[in-house]
């Protein structure tokens, strides 16, 4: 059985990625939620994940950790689900934008917290944050313009690239980040996705509060 270990749905943007991929590709899995940054969370995470971080994915005695590595493993386990785009050029671009997301955008990570429960305000936009936001808009626009005829996701059908960028959509939505028309339409696609709605609804119901992620500006 597939077992995904995640953090709080309200805050854990990394956990949302493989969870959303499994849901969207209709792959059955069991989930265990470990509340983050409370007494005992460190030990609880280490019981499942050698990195001490969530998400982690366990199947038949094999543990895989790190959100993108988990998505890649799921893609290899279920090739028929087409977790990456089918044609080689689109797949290469999908991997580029996914890895760019995974290895960068530090200003967004530091300054725009994911918090499904709340509308946030940002009063000071640093030049690094502006650069990150502009680059994300550029990526979404490029992918959407190239695949406009194939469906509403970055590469037409839902792929790992969408799983990687969905947490950014939630952050931009919380902060009311202004984006262009094409990027707004993509955000609406993600925000109206039933699995994303399910994640948000469950996040809103959670009772844990991580103070650092509750600062509104």
Ligand X SMILES: N[C@@H](CCC(=O)N[C@@H](CS)C(=O)NCC(=O)O)C(=O)O
List of residues contacting ligand X (CB under 6 A): 7, 12-14, 36, 42, 52-55, 66-68
Instruction: Give one DSSP letter per residue of 139-165, joined into a string.
Output: HHHHHHHHTGGG-SBTBBB--HHHHHH
Q: Which long-range contacts (CB under 8 A, 24 or more apart) does 191-196 make?
A: 193/20, 193/24, 193/158, 193/166, 195/20, 195/23, 195/24, 196/20, 196/166, 196/169, 196/170
Query: What's the min distance (Å) between Cβ of 53 and ligand X?
Result: 3
Question: Minimum Å distance from CB 184 to ligand X?
Answer: 26
Bond prior to 55 in cis (omega within 30° of 0): yes
By beta-carbon proximity to ligand X, the closer residue of 38 and 150 is 38
Apex 161 CA angle, 155 and 165, nearest 5? 115
Q: Which is nearer to ligand X, 67 or 173 (CB)?
A: 67
> Residue 69 or residue 185: which is nearer to ligand X going by CB?
69
- Least distance in angstroms from the C-beta of 113 to ligand X: 10
67 vs 98, beta carbon nearer ligand X: 67
Q: How far is the CB of 36 from ligand X (least distance, A)?
A: 5
Any alpha helices (H) in 47-159, and if so which ranges?
67-77, 88-103, 106-111, 127-146
Specify the residue, 70 or 129, whose C-beta has the smaller distance to ligand X: 70
Nearest distance from C-beta of residue 14 to ligand X, angstroms: 4
């Amino acid at each position: 059985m597939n077992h995904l270990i995640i953090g709080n749905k309200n805050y854990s943007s990394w956990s949302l990625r493989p969870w959303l991929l499994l849901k969207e590709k209709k792959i059955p899995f069991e989930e265990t939620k470990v509340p983050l940054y409370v007494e005992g969370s460190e030990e609880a995470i280490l019981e499942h994940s050698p990195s001490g971080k969530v998400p982690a994915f366990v199947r038949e005695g094999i543990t895989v950790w790190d959100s993108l590595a988990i998505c890649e493993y799921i893609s290899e386990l279920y090739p028929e689900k087409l977790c990456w785009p089918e044609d080689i050029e689109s797949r290469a671009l999908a991997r580029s934008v996914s890895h760019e997301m995974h290895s960068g955008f530090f200003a967004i990570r530091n300054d725009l917290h994911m918090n499904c429960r709340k509308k946030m305000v940002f009063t000071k936009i640093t030049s690094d944050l502006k650069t990150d936001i502009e680059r994300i808009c550029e990526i979404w626009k490029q992918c959407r313009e190239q695949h406009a005829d194939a469906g509403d996701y970055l590469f037409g059908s839902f792929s790992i690239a969408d799983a990687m960028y969905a947490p950014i959509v939630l952050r931009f939505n919380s902060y009311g980040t202004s984006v262009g028309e094409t990027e707004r339409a993509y955000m609406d696609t993600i925000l109206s996705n039933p699995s994303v709605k399910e994640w948000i609804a469950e996040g809103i119901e959670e009772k844990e509060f991580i103070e650092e992620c509750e600062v509104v500006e």
